[in-house]
Each structure stands twice: as C-alpha cells, then as structure tokens.
Structure 1
Amino acid sequence: MSILMACTVGVILDMIFGDPVWLYHPVRLIGRLITVLERGFRRICSDEDPEKENHKLLIAGRVFCIMVPVISAGIPAFILLGVRQFRPEAAFVLECFWCYQLLAARSLKAESRRVYDRLKDHDLPGARKAVSMIVGRDTQALDERGVTKAAVETVAENTSDGVTAPLFYMMIGGPILGFFYKAVNTMDSMVGYKNEKYLYFGRAAAKFDDLMNYIPARISAWLMIASAFLLRMDGANAYRIYKRDRRKHASPNAAQTEAVCAGALRVQLAGNAYYFGKLYEKEYIGDDLRPVEAEDILRAGQLMDGTEILMLVMCAVLRYMILAFI
C-alpha cells in the first residue's frame, strides 16, 4: 500500500509543482554516471585495429548497460534501506519525493508551452529555439508547421517515456524500480544512436530500452485512446490510426502513443526529419484531415494528463486486486 500512496503523492506533486529546479535532479546524476563510464570504457576498448575496437565496444556496451541501471537503482535502494531502519516515516516521505522527481509531466507541458507561446507571439526563431530544447532533430530550418509538429510529437512520445512508463514501473517496485527504468531510458537518449560513434557501444542500451518500454508503451496507447474519448476528442479516429500506423517508426515503441495522438487530433505527424545535418526518411503517421496548429500542443498535453491519471487508476486497481487475493 505504501508504494501506491507514494506514487499517488508523486503524481499530485508533479502535476502541481513540476521538477524541483532548486535541487540537482537524479537523472542528471545518472547522466554524469553514463558520461564517466562511457569515457572509461572507450579508453579500455581503444585499439589500432578498427575491427577489434568495434568488437570490444560491443562487449563493453553490454557490460555498460547492466552497470548503469544497477548502480542507479542500487544507491537509492541502499539509502532507502538505511533510512527505513531508523525512521520508517522518513523513508515513506523519501519514496514520495523520489516518485515526484521521476515523473516529468508538468515539466514537459511547461517546455512545450514555451513553444506554444512563441508561436502565438509569431516569434518563429524563438519557437525554434524552444522546441530544440525538447527534441533531438535539427530545428534551425523548421517552419511554423514543422515546429508545431515537432512539439506535438515529443509530447505524444514522451507521454510514455517520461510519464506513464516510469509510473508503471514505480507502481510495481516503487521508486527503486523507477530509478532502474530512468537509467535505461537515459542511456538510450545518450548513447542509443545508430551513428558511427554509437553503432557498437550503444547497441545494447538501445535494445534494452526497447525491451523496457515494450509493455508500457502499448498500455499507454490504449489508455490514451480511452483518454481521447473522455476528453471528447476523436477517440474513434485515434483507435483507427493506432491500429494502422503504430508500427510506422524505426523504434518498436515510439509510434504507439504518437499514432493515437495523431488520430485523436485528426492531424498528420512524423515524416522526414534532419538529425545532426543528415536527412532521415520517415513514414507519415495519421491523416492530414486538417492543418496542425499551435493549440494542438496544448491538446497533446491534455491527452498526456488524461493518460497518466488512467495509468495511475489502472495500476492502483490491479495492485488492490492482487493484494486482495494474496
């Protein structure tokens, strides 16, 4: 029951306050750990023979993707265990606070809202800069429609990665399992690229992230469809586009919530994009039933909130049912 309470408090605090910017965020600590370990592994794997070096990097990447989440979850587990032995009530407060920190709904909405505000002020350079803070693609040449699409897509995709997936794992194993998930997800965002630098070292991290997100992404998509109906968006079209376009992405998980969002908003997302100066061809997701507009950024945020609440309710009911039969 303490896990359920801690997660509920965490969701409420995140919705009200967002990330506590006055405190160093644990994900940044995980990021520093990733940077330090990657630097060390690359030194060890350095070899004059490119083939030997690539083989070493492949093996090192597998060790790396085990070490990072184990350390990232192990340290908080050790701290929590120590606090619990002396002050159980303090341990519960710490669990609530960590659950709060590991969720990113309010901060994601705030960042996307900056894009919306710049667009409404007709400040395209400002909108490009704002959206560059939350997407990985090149934004310098995006027009107003491209900026809007990028913002909507990142809110839709991160509904799972940044909100419902960590909540899903925290409802199973509390903030410790939440830290494990966030470490895997952060690894993927930092080294899980298929470019020359990370093709070998980051391969295991990318696959591990795909595995961790496989179930949460699909649950999130179905809950987002339900949220579309509840919010009086086009739930029927959300279901139709989800069934048709949920596999239109190189990642097995990324298009799950993105397809639902495109259908619910009756817009077309995705398509070709530039990353690090290179054009990547992507399929479109959704039908171009109407032009995408700035308000769609806010609507995507509403879908995210609805999906998060439904995930919390669903997991709470399942936990209660399981505990009732034990």
Structure 2
Amino acid sequence: MVLSCLIFAILLDWILGDPYFFPHPVVLMGNIISLEERLVFKHFKTSQGQYLAGTFMVLINCILAVSVPGLILYFLRGWAYWVFFTYSIYQAISARMLHYEAIQVKKATARSLEEGRKRLSYIVGRETSQLDESEVYKATIETVAENTSDGIIAPLFYIFLLGPIGGYLYKTINTMDSMIGYHTEKYEYLGKVAAQVDDVMNYLPARITGLLMGIMAIFYGRYQETMASIKKYKYAHLSPNAGYPEAAIAGILDVSLGGGHYYFGQYIDKPMIGDSKKEISPSDIDQTIRVMYGTEVLFIAIYCILFILSIKM
C-alpha cells in the first residue's frame, strides 16, 4: 500500500502540479514564517536577539511540522488514512510546478525581456530587473537544477526515511531557508540557524542528486564531462550543497552557471560553475527539465527496487 500511495502521489504531481487555487501546506508555512519574521523585527533589534529568535523559529516550526500531520495520521483510519498519506507525499514534491514555471519564464522572455524578468522574479530570490536574456535563461536553469534536489529528491529522501512527516519536516526547513536564509544585512542573524539546518538536511540529497544526474548524463553522451564538472565545481557555490546539481547540469549542457547577483539590494559575489563560453539558449531550459524528470524517475526506481527486495527478505 505504501508503494502504491507513493506512485499515485508522484503521478498526481506530474498531472496536476500545484494549482494556484488549491490550498498548499507550503503557503501556510510561508504565512507563519512571515508572521514570525514581522514579530521578530518588531521586538528584537540586536543581532543576538535576532539569532535567538531565529533559533526558536526553527524549533517551533519543526515541532508544528511533525506534530500536526502526525496527529492527523494518528487519528485517521482506513481509506482516510491512506488518502491523507498520499496527499502529504503529493504536496511535498514539485516537479510539475518547476516544469511549468521554467516554461513560463521561457515563453515570457520570447515575448519580451521585461516580461521574462518579471516572470523569473516569481521563482528566484535575486533581483531580476537588470538581467539580460542569457542571464534570465541561466537563472531559470540554476533554479530547476537546484530544486531538482530541494524540491524533489530531498523531500522524497525524507519521505522514504520517515514517511509523510519527513516530507513536512523537510519542507518546513527548506521554506524557512528560502525566505530568511540569506547572507544579507537584514537576514544574517535571523536566518542563520535555518540556513545551517537546511544545509545539514540537504547534505545527502544534494550529493545523491548530483550522482543521479551524472548517470543521466550517459544518455546525453556527456558522462565523463559531467562527472569532471561535479568534481571540479561541487564546492563552487556559497551553499555547500547547491554546487552538486548545478555542476552536474553545467556538465550535461556544456554551459557555465553561477556568478554574482543582487539580493534585496545587496550584491552577493558567487563563483562561476563551468568553463564553457557557450551562449545559453531556451533549449537548454528544456533539456534541464528532461534531466530533472529523469533524475526523479531514476531515484524512484531505485527506491522501488530496494523496497521490493526488503519485503522479500
């Protein structure tokens, strides 16, 4: 039954994605984090106070992420249990939404650069108003690459380990990191613990993602180049984890990613990932999406094999 729920949840994600009109737990998480952020900045003015408040935010939100769905699963019985079980897995992954948003950026940029910049701003934290066309495409590719780990492999990894509660726990930490985990003057202390915990939780999933993408590179005839790119650029990122999937995609596409950008008015210098001078094109977005799905399918296939073997043993 567990395996059936997993497969059905993934199919739901591929078919439906995350409709904007449908309530989503991550939206609720985001609203809670926004409220906490406003309260912290209102009542805590010192760096030490914001650091302590940020620590308590992580603890409180993790407790909520585990206890609320845990209690629901505890009290549900029969078909209601399995419906919520499946729904929880479905809401934790976001392959279809990543696909949709990346394609929307590509289509918007084809109409006008200004439209492309605006659409890109929906899915990235960096400022987009000064990006040229190639930089818009590059940012889209980086987002899909990084979120192949953060939005697909990592939540599935924790679901495989801890069940649906693992998915909620991971999504809570990852949402906090995406909202307040920036190395900027505003968030340096408030988001420090959230960023550190997110780094720890993404340590294994990011490396698994890089390895799976390396296997996917075989189908593109770029296995050696991709593995060399991962080896060389895996730490060429401010995040200790994001370099793995981005270096893998840079190797598969034979492009260069990374570089500095403005976040909330502050310039953040970031290393380049890749040696290629090739111009990034819209077709590179399509190929990144295909790699994303292939990586997900490969990860699920490995889990299914291990799950079946564990039952037979």
1:3 aligned onto 2:2: yes
| Displacement of 1:233 | 4.8
In structure 2, what is the equivalent of residue 251 of structure 1? 239
| Displacement of 1:77 | 1.4
Give the CA RMSD over aligned residues: 1.7
Alignment of 1:161-310 (within 5 A): 161-230=150-219, 232-310=220-298
In structure 2, what is the equivalent of residue 315 of structure 1? 303
CA contact (8 A) 1:7 1:167 kept: no
Q: CA offsets, 1:252-305, max 9 Å, x none?
A: 001110000000001111112222233222211112152211110111100100
In structure 1, what is the equivalent of residue 11 of structure 2? 12
Question: Structure 2 counterpart of 1:180, which letter?
Answer: L
| Displacement of 1:41 | 4.2
1:102 to 81, 88, 92: 92
In structure 2, what is the equivalent of residue 24 of structure 1? 23
| Displacement of 1:195 | 1.8
Q: CA offsets, 1:131-169, max 9 Å, x none?
A: 111111111111111111111111111110111111111
In structure 2, what is the equivalent of residue 49 of structure 1? none
Aligned to 2:267, what secondary structure does the other structure show?
A: strand
Aligned to 1:148, what secondary structure does the other structure show?
A: helix
Question: Structure 1 counterpart of 2:11, which letter?
Answer: I
| Displacement of 1:216 | 0.4
CA contact (8 A) 1:102 1:182 kept: yes
Aligned-partner Cα distance in 2 for 1:233–1:261: 13
In structure 2, what is the equivalent of residue 139 of structure 1? 128
CA contact (8 A) 1:7 1:174 kept: no
Aligned-partner Cα distance in 2 for 1:272–1:55: 28
Aligned to 1:186, what secondary structure does the other structure show?
A: helix
Q: CA offsets, 1:3-50, max 9 Å, x none?
A: 33222211111111111333211101011121233344455545xxxx
CA contact (8 A) 1:116 1:295 kept: no
Aligned-partner Cα distance in 2 for 1:258–1:31: 26
| Displacement of 1:306 | 0.5
1:65 aligned onto 2:58: yes
1:82 to 75, 79, 82: 75
Aligned-partner Cα distance in 2 for 1:25–1:202: 23
Q: Which moved more, 1:210-219 or 1:191-200?
A: 191-200
Q: Which moved more, 1:281-290 or 1:131-140?
A: 281-290
- The percent of aligned pairs where both chains have the same amino acid is 39
Q: 1:103 to 1:244 in 2, by over 3 A?
A: same
Aligned-partner Cα distance in 2 for 1:127–1:42: 33
Q: CA offsets, 1:76-121, max 9 Å, x none?
A: 111122112xxx1221122112211111110111111011112334
Aligned-partner Cα distance in 1 for 2:49–2:277: 50
Structure 1 consecutive aligned stretches of length 4 or more whose deviation exceeds 4 Å? 41-44
CA contact (8 A) 2:109 2:117 kept: no
Residue-pair matches, total: 313
TM-score, scaled to structure 2: 0.95
Aligned to 1:274, what secondary structure does the other structure show?
A: strand
Q: CA offsets, 1:40-64, max 9 Å, x none?
A: 4455545xxxxxx322322222222
Aligned-partner Cα distance in 1 for 2:17–2:149: 17
In structure 1, what is the equivalent of residue 82 of structure 2? 92
| Displacement of 1:176 | 1.3
Aligned to 1:279, what secondary structure does the other structure show?
A: strand
TM-score, scaled to structure 1: 0.91
1:151 aligned onto 2:150: no
CA contact (8 A) 1:127 1:147 kept: yes
CA contact (8 A) 2:110 2:116 kept: no
Aligned-partner Cα distance in 1 for 2:310–2:289: 32
CA contact (8 A) 1:7 1:171 kept: no
CA contact (8 A) 2:184 2:263 kept: no
